[in-house]
Structure 1
Amino acid sequence: MSHAAPVSENSAGEYALSFKDLQVTFETSGPEVHAVKGLSLSVRPGEVVALVGESGSGKSVTSTAAMGLLPSNASVTGEAKVGNVNVVGLDQGKMRKMRATDIAMVFQEPMTALNPVLTIERQLTEALELHGIAYGRAATERAVELLTLVGIPDPAKRIKQYPHQFSGGQRQRIVIAMAISCDPKVIIADEPTTALDVTVQAEILDLLRELKDRLNTGILLITHNMGVVADMADQVAVMFQGNLVETGSVDQVLLHPQHEYTQRLLAAVPKLSSAHVDEIARHAEENAAKGRELVLEAKDLVLEYDMRGTKFRAVEGVSFDVAKGEVIGIVGESGSGKSTIAKAVIGLLPVAGGSLEINGQNLPKLSPREARAVRRKIGVIFQDPAASLNPRFPIGECITEPMVVHKEGTKASRIKRAEELLDAVKLPRNVINRYPHELSGGQRQRVCIARALTLSPELLIADEPTSALDVSVQAVVLEMLQELQRDFNFACLFVSHDLAVVDMLADHVVVMQSGKAVEQGLVKTVLHNPQHDYTRRLLAAAPVPDPHEQAVRREAWRALNSGK
């Protein structure tokens, strides 16, 4: 196991950011929580150091300590130096002056980092004026310059707009513009691409790389996406339960991991496989031989949103079908119409044209009562488990809610069903009386899967069910979905922007672009031999956890994009 270079006094000036024996503990009503245990790590100017690990490993606590943003119940010892200044125990006034000018942060969720009631101009000029860099018109000109730098089109006009008028990727670019506005020595990027599509993610990573080279800024990149690490990092540090268990160059750690935890993390990353192809082909052929029992069939599907009297067509002329025991993956960028299709199947959006049949019954033509009976056979897993569980219900009631809604069973039989499902999703039965906030993200997502299976559905709709999860938790949840499908034999509509996950789970795939299906067919043909340029771009944009292969893919993605 290699260690990070120790920070000696005379060389401290070489580092944009350095930690030496950093310890962070939190006082709680119970025992003390030791979140970071003696971490030593350094970031040089112009270097990207990736800090990886699962939720709860101490990554974000480390970055918050460097920003001086830890809550009052935290006690910190050791050093966290920004340039030559140790920020541990630094006076709040001095720390405030250092933020933005010396150290800046790009947060995971741009909407929480931007003020929804202030224009982008106000938010960008605020930091410039606060730190005495520019005022009035000069500050506005600098703000327009920053938006140009991060690739926002028509910046002079768009600077007058509000955050909600920008897409997710553009909002993240604005947050990066705010971070670089005062030329900081180091930027901490905390999961900067988690909520983004693969193509937008590739653009944001390209932008960060370009800015780092131009401004010679050090970047501490916090992520659980090993593909992003391979794409961006020079050095990698792996955290596990508050300890740094492995550090080294990106090649060393990703290609020759020494610690068993790093090996486990890398083994959990879903990859676009070739070995899997034969298995899928065999599976598809077996299904075809058996005769497919269609559960869901869409023909020339047209879906529209009513935007204050004007119709916006979100999906046009899409046809597909899925049979019992099959998984169909729907992939594409944000705004391509993936989730809109899922909404229409659940009945949350009326069908504007074409047909959408579930077990031979055309949804648009059914009366509300008949539609309700059809929906009873559909289970849904949403993207964000925290938002889709009622925080005031104990887990048992969350799981049995569909039985209550559809007036099924007695109280005792519902509890029995909840216990069976907790077994099926590999959660201990004693969580039945706990509340959602007492469980981790991965456990909450399992509860959502259990709830989706309560009424033994014939069709399961999974909308980005693993995008908010760590790689190792994601691997467990995906494996569990495969097992449950073998046991329950449901048809599954799987919406995702992670092509490796779709490759692992799905039999068929539909690639969506701007509301149309540009390519569809068996996963093995579409994802391993794509015919359409857009599918090729999507595949090239998905990062892989091998730095050499990723460098080749990045060039391929740039070449495809320059020709689009």
Structure 2
Amino acid sequence: MSTEAAENYALSFTDLKVTFETAGPDVHAVKGLSLAVRPGEVVALVGESGSGKSVTSTAAMGLLPENAYITGEARVGNVNVVGLDQGKMRKMRATDIAMVFQEPMTALNPVLTIERQLTEALELHDVAYGKEATDRAIELLTLVGIPDPAKRIKQYPHQFSGGQRQRIVIAMAISCDPKVIIADEPTTALDVTVQAEILDLLRELKDRLNTGILLITHNMGVVADMADQVAVMFQGNLVETGDVQQVLLHPQHEYTQRLLSSVPRLSPVIIDENAPRSEPTVPAERELVLEAKDLVLEYNMRGKIFRAVENVSFDVAKGEVLGIVGESGSGKSTIAKAVLGLLPVAAGTLAVKGHNLPKLSTRQARAVRKDIGVIFQDPAASLNPRFPIGDCITEPMVVHKVGNKASRTKRALELLDAVKLPRNVINRYPHELSGGQRQRICIARALTMNPELLIADEPTSALDVSVQAVVLEMLQDLQRDFNFACLFVSHDLAVVDMLADSVVVMQNGKAVEQGRVDTVLHAPTHDYTRRLLAAAPVPDPIEQAVRRDAWRILNSTK
């Protein structure tokens, strides 16, 4: 790529190669990548973990570690940042190139006010000082849709919701009018409606500021929603590039085809008040495992009572999956916590196998909880890093004083077979496994005591699409083999559609709609359910454009 051509690009890579020197053999993370992003254009870089996406973006920011050996070019505008002096690179960050990170809570400093964090970049790059910087910061918060910005600018990150924090991170990224923004999984941690708002915001800002965006994601729905061009990476190589319709609707490379076939898809939604609602027959003989009647859950916040769940009723029988969906703060995970005994029941009934949890003594409740398995959202955080895998899996047996060392090891090996992992991982440690393998270990641990009830709280949201597909398929197989009841908490409606029999839609602590999945998710009657479904992106750019318009119409009438 000539220098003259590169000047027309906001960001461009030419034959970029990145190799990491390690104690073992060198790791070739990026193998000769050439890619360009024009001003006002969104280029999506997709691929699984370990494909080299984030290494490519980090090279453009000049943030690779010292053991990285880089050749080729990474140009921001017409400046090659490979080998650039650190002082010059520091001046370019924020003014020429900025980054929006995946997790807003770690991207923001928890001990500094939002004002301090926004004005810091402005002062550092001589854009504005003092009151002028504060005024510019308020203007930025207004631009990204934070209500009452003059007052809220004095607050700290923890006083904002996840979606608002991500908006603040975007405000910081655009504060010095950069030529290009690298958005690294900017919506992974957010629920579907907030995700739709953030994508709308990024699209609006890109058009207004004519900024180029390199969007790194493994969510094909987000790609269909946002991207003009798509580049697919696999094991450090660029295997396919093209415009969004060409790549998503007519993929050429086998890997792209496999990636797209792994994406769980929502069935078409019928929004017709007069459409006949099919109510599938439910087996008469249902063996109830979990039952909630008029359930009320409250948090005591420094003497103030906050009601998180109000008068919710549902039940799950053996061999069934109940999905609970809704936005962050709707009360989904609060219900899961109450079932696990991590939150007291304020009123109503919450019964496991006929035992009403609020009425049980500590000892009785412990005996009931023996029949409950749990899978958490983040596999890395839910496994003890100091325990070998065998000890992680058999920990529930130790807690409940079941079996001896030999029988526990035998059980661990059986479960490794069940979750399709090689038996030799029993002596490895969590950090030696991939994210998908760690989540399989969490599933094995949840099944150690042959539970009658499995609680899965966002078990696949941290995983790549192809790994997610394998884990979901495995959960279906395990449920068929073990016949447990499952409470599946998620904000991914396509996953719930694929896995669950029934669904409860939560909004602000109340169940606004519930019933069989094929009724609620395919012919919803409540406006909130319709908004949730319209906000869920699908990996088809033509269909997604229609859905985006439907979402905007539904949102304008709420």
TM-score (norm 1): 0.97
**Aligned-CA RMSD value:** 1.2
- Quote the Cα distance in structure 2 between the aligned partners of 1:9 and 1:134: 32
Q: Residue 283 of structure 2 corresponds to which residue in structure 1?
A: 288
TM-superposition CA deviations, 1:172-209 (whole Å, max 9, x none):
00000000000000000000000000000000000000
- Quote the Cα distance in structure 1 between the aligned partners of 2:398 and 2:502: 34
TM-superposition CA deviations, 1:316-348 (whole Å, max 9, x none):
000000000000000000000000000000100
Task: Judge conservation of contact 2:3–2:78 (CA < 8 Å) in 1.
Answer: no
TM-superposition CA deviations, 1:98-141 (whole Å, max 9, x none):
00000000000111111111111111011111110111110000
Matched, 1:224 2:214: no
Task: Judge conservation of contact 2:15–2:32 (CA < 8 Å) in 1.
Answer: yes
Q: How does 1:476-487 map to 2 (within 5 A)?
A: 476-487=470-481
Q: Match for 2:529 among 524, 530, 535?
A: 535
Q: Match for 1:269 among 259, 263, 275?
A: 263
Q: Residue 3 of structure 1 corresponds to which residue in structure 2?
A: none
Q: How does 1:144-293 map to 2 (within 5 A)?
A: 144-273=138-267, 285=281, 288-289=283-284, 291-293=285-287
Which amino acid in structure 2 is aligned with residue 203 of structure 1?
A: E
Which amino acid in structure 2 is aligned with residue 288 of structure 1?
A: P
Q: Match for 1:513 among 476, 499, 507?
A: 507
- Quote the Cα distance in structure 1 between the aligned partners of 2:544 and 2:201: 16
- Quote the Cα distance in structure 2 between the aligned partners of 1:309 and 1:432: 47
Extract unaligned runs of 5+ from structure 2. 270-276
Extract unaligned runs of 5+ from structure 1. 1-6, 276-280
Assess, with a 3 A threshold, how the Cα gap between structure 1 residues 470 and 542 changes in structure 2: closer, same or farther: same
Q: Residue 26 of structure 1 corresponds to which residue in structure 2?
A: 20
Task: Judge conservation of contact 2:279–2:516 (CA < 8 Å) in 1.
Answer: no
TM-superposition CA deviations, 1:125-165 (whole Å, max 9, x none):
11111110111110000000000000000000000111111
- Quote the Cα distance in structure 2 between the aligned partners of 1:452 and 1:282: 35
Q: Residue 421 of structure 1 corresponds to which residue in structure 2?
A: 415
- Quote the Cα distance in structure 1 between the aligned partners of 2:309 and 2:257: 42
- Quote the Cα distance in structure 1 between the aligned partners of 2:485 and 2:409: 26
Which amino acid in structure 2 is aligned with residue 422 of structure 1?
A: L
- Quote the Cα distance in structure 2 between the aligned partners of 1:187 and 1:66: 11
- Quote the Cα distance in structure 2 between the aligned partners of 1:52 and 1:460: 33
Q: Residue 274 of structure 2 corresponds to which residue in structure 1?
A: none
TM-superposition CA deviations, 1:456-480 (whole Å, max 9, x none):
0000000000000000000000000
Q: Residue 38 of structure 1 corresponds to which residue in structure 2?
A: 32
Matched, 1:82 2:76: yes
- Quote the Cα distance in structure 1 between the aligned partners of 2:330 and 2:194: 13
Matched, 1:318 2:323: no
SS at match of 2:200: helix
Q: Residue 451 of structure 2 corresponds to which residue in structure 1?
A: 457
Deviation at 1:284, TM superposition (A): 6.2
Deviation at 1:282, TM superposition (A): 12
SS at match of 1:14: coil
Q: How does 1:424-503 map to 2 (within 5 A)?
A: 424-503=418-497
- Aligned-pair identity in percent equals 87
Which amino acid in structure 2 is aligned with residue 258 of structure 1?
A: Q
Deviation at 1:210, TM superposition (A): 0.1
Task: Judge conservation of contact 2:6–2:78 (CA < 8 Å) in 1.
Answer: yes
SS at match of 1:288: coil
- Quote the Cα distance in structure 1 between the aligned partners of 2:105 and 2:349: 37
Matched, 1:409 2:390: no
Task: Judge conservation of contact 2:319–2:479 (CA < 8 Å) in 1.
Answer: yes
Which amino acid in structure 1 is aligned with residue 26 of structure 2?
A: E
Which amino acid in structure 1 is aligned with residue 478 of structure 2?
A: L
- Quote the Cα distance in structure 2 between the aligned partners of 1:223 and 1:283: 38
- Quote the Cα distance in structure 2 between the aligned partners of 1:400 and 1:188: 42
Q: Residue 99 of structure 1 corresponds to which residue in structure 2?
A: 93
Q: Residue 122 of structure 1 corresponds to which residue in structure 2?
A: 116
Task: Judge conservation of contact 1:235–1:250 (CA < 8 Å) in 2.
Answer: yes
Q: Match for 2:543 among 541, 544, 549?
A: 549
Q: Match for 2:354 among 349, 354, 360?
A: 360
- Quote the Cα distance in structure 1 between the aligned partners of 2:32 and 2:105: 33
TM-score (norm 2): 0.98
- Quote the Cα distance in structure 2 between the aligned partners of 1:351 and 1:411: 37
Task: Judge conservation of contact 1:284–1:507 (CA < 8 Å) in 2.
Answer: no
Matched, 1:386 2:355: no
Which amino acid in structure 2 is aligned with residue 402 of structure 1?
A: P
Which amino acid in structure 2 is aligned with residue 183 of structure 1?
A: D
- Quote the Cα distance in structure 1 between the aligned partners of 2:301 and 2:556: 34
Assess, with a 3 A threshold, how the Cα gap between structure 1 residues 213 and 282 changes in structure 2: closer, same or farther: closer
TM-superposition CA deviations, 1:296-323 (whole Å, max 9, x none):
0000000000111111100000000000
